[in-house]
Amino acid sequence: MDMKAGSGKKLGLKEKYRHMTRELDWETTYQTRQDVHPLVEYEGIKIHDWDKWEDPFRLTMDAYWKYQSEKERKLYAIIEAYAQNNGHLNVTDARYLNAIKLFLTGISPLEYMAHRGFAMAGRAFPGAGPRVACLMQSLDELRHAQTQIHSLSNYNKYYNGFHDPAHMLQRVWYLSVPRSFFDDAVTAGPFEFMVAIGFSFEYVLTNLLFVPFVSGAAYNGDMGTMTFGFSAQSDEARHMTLGLEIIKFILEQDPDNIPIVQRWIDKWTWRGYRVLTLVGMMMDYMLPKRIMSWKEAWEVYFEQNGGALFKDLARYGIRPPKWLDQISFDKDHISHQAWSTFYQYGAAADFHTWSPTDDELDWLSKKYPNSFDKYYRPRLEFWREQAEKGNRFYNTTLPQLCQVCQIPMVFTEPGDPTKTCYREVDYQGEKFHFCSDGCKDIFEHEPEKYKQSWLPVHQIYQGNCFPEGTDPTVEGFEPLAKVLEYYHVNFGRDNLDFEGSEDQKNFAAWRGMATTNE
Amino acid sequence: MSTVFIALQANEETRPIIEAIEQDNPNAVVNHQPAMVKIDCEDRIVVRRETIEELIGRDFDLQEIQVNLISLSGHLDETDDEMTLYWNA
């Protein structure tokens, strides 16, 4: 007689979730729980009942594979169609590709680090619910790294600067900014990692990257980026619910957790905000067809959305992140300050920079009525005039970097955009430098961590960024050329001004061939 | 008052979902942006399975929304019949 396998009734969402998560968990027998999960107590977070944690999406592994595989099929169909159709010639302007180079070198490797981080966090938690959710997020992040590399590698066949992102991440000066952000998070404890990445980054900040910027990629004809971007962000929607849920869960478990979590929120909002400077520049300067200004995106996704979130969390005794006044003032400034930095250091980067056209300057004036014409337009126009006379400005003096965010100290004083902001701290007989009160405060709380930062400029000056076997004492030694060799940046192809670059010439020639019978 | 939002890819599969959200949330504001649709609403958005099923004429599992979802905000409560986004304050 056949055994009856079940009642025949389909399980409801909540019932299925319970069977497929909690009931697959087991108690340890020959090892103590503490030995199996050694990291769970060392940050001081107190959890009394792991079962109180619930995944609001109630996603189980079987449903996860089903929907993810459907997303993958759609994604690869579009990526292939885009590649088969020479879609790279349909972007608005080859300048756009430089934003995508930044994406490939600066952002995609973070996905891979997020994959590793969530795998570690999932391993560290004793509760079955967060473990399963972290496992899925870890898989998602690995998928994002892969799909981004697959989508963007299509450009590598035709354009410069895409050839070695993994190598560059460990070496190139500005890539230490995003890299140090994730290195900081994965070397924290599991709860801090969840607040840093699961909450602060996913909930408050990824929207700015994957919603308006990716919508902007679509606007500029880049189907590949649109598709991986939205496909990734559909996972982010789940990640945000995980981030919010983990915060609520930690805060509800014990009042002692509140000040610890508050400090992490302050720290990671500030660190995340600093990293997003890159995205502000991509939106305001690198999308030939602009979708909205950085300031507008900030107002929608940080001020409106994040504001609602912090109003909601107030009932736990959580206040909005520190330094919000300065953040709010800075929205008129940071994208311009960042572009000016990359324009000056365009000989040491792996992508091209350029002088904005009149039309673009006018757009920036309109979007930034309180700051652009007064502080930034004159400088950009001066640089353009000089470039037209053959004096394209390249700064060859290396900048002081902030010990925490690792960004060159180019940001200005709170409330005064004409004065560079410098802070310093003496620690164990050494001086450490900071771009802001936020970064200084983060250092002062954990000096033993941040005194170890690998700062590219310091390393260059110490002679640690030359190819093996370099002799800096030989006559005619050119340090910059050797540093670029160490970075795997091809001088004259991957860097310098977009005007006159190989990318510019090739794109124009190929686009011409695509629209004529020549 | 706080705003919640849901953003979906602009494609054939989401057209009836967006229509269902508009029907079930009279205060929803629908913004069409390149390749995406962002729906904002004061305090709460409800996505109802039955409304979507009436519009598409077949069974619909609310978790299918994940294939075309881009982003959201607010606390999420998902059952077999409704997916709700809301703020408590």
Q: Is B73 left (phi over 0), alpha (psi -120 to 50) or beta?
A: beta
The H or E element containing residue A82 is helix A61-84
Selected for mutation to probe chain B from A11, A15, A233 (highest B CB count within 10 Å) is A233
Specify the pLDDT at position A202: 85
pLDDT at A415 over 80: yes
Residues 36-95 of A with CB under 8 A from B: 56-59, 63, 67, 70-71, 74
Q: What is the mean pLDDT of chain A?
A: 93
Three state DSSP letters for A407-428: CECCCEECCEEEEECCEEEEEC
C-alpha distance from residue A302 to each of A207, A216, A297, A305 (Å) = 9, 18, 8, 5
Average pLDDT over residues A94-115: 94
Measured in residues, chain A has a length of 518
- Check if B34 contacts A (Cβ < 8 Å): yes
ipTM for the complex?
0.90
Per-residue pLDDT tens digits for A49-71: 999 998 888 888 888 999 999 99
CA neighbor of A347 nearest in space, from A221, A235, A469, A490: A490
Buried residues in A399-433 as b, exposed as e (16+ CB within 10 A)? ebbbbbbbbbbbbbebeebeeebebebeeeeeebb
Per-residue pLDDT tens digits for A401-413: 999 999 999 999 9
- Check if B57 contacts A (Cβ < 8 Å): no
Across the interface, whether the CB atoms of A240 and B5 are under 8 A apart is answered no
pLDDT at A1 over 60: no
CA neighbor of A438 nearest in space, from A329, A340, A318: A329
Specify the pLDDT at position A228: 85
Instruction: Kindly state the DSSP code that residue A323 receives in the 8-state scheme.
Output: T
Report percent pLDDT > 70 for chain A: 98
Instruction: Kindly state the DSSP code that residue A330 receives in the 8-state scheme.
Output: H
Q: Quote the tokens at residue A193.
A: 């990692």
Q: Which of A21-25, A134-138, A147-151, A282-286 has the lowest mean pLDDT?
A: A21-25
The H or E element containing residue A102 is helix A97-102
Residues of chain A contacting B35 with CB distance shorter than 8 Å:
214-215, 218-219, 226, 230
CA distance B75 to chain A (A): 7
Q: Which of A88-102, A132-146, A235-249, A284-298 has the lowest mean pLDDT?
A: A235-249
Across the interface, whether the CB atoms of B35 and A216 are under 8 A apart is answered no
CA distance B8 to chain A (A): 9
Distance (Å, rounded) from C-alpha A161 to C-alpha A484? 12
pLDDT at A501 over 90: yes
pLDDT at A237 over 90: no
Kindly report the backbone phi and psi dihedral angles of residue A107, in degrees, each rounded to the nearest multiple of 5, phi listed first.
Answer: -110, -45
- Check if B41 contacts A (Cβ < 8 Å): no
Distance (Å, rounded) from C-alpha A270 to C-alpha A262? 12
Residues of chain B contacting A63 with CB distance shorter than 8 Å:
63
Across the interface, whether the CB atoms of A234 and B69 are under 8 A apart is answered yes
- Check if A305 contacts B (Cβ < 8 Å): yes
Greater pLDDT, A204 or B61? B61
Residues 6+ apart with CB under 8 A from A105: A165, A168, A169, A172, A175, A350
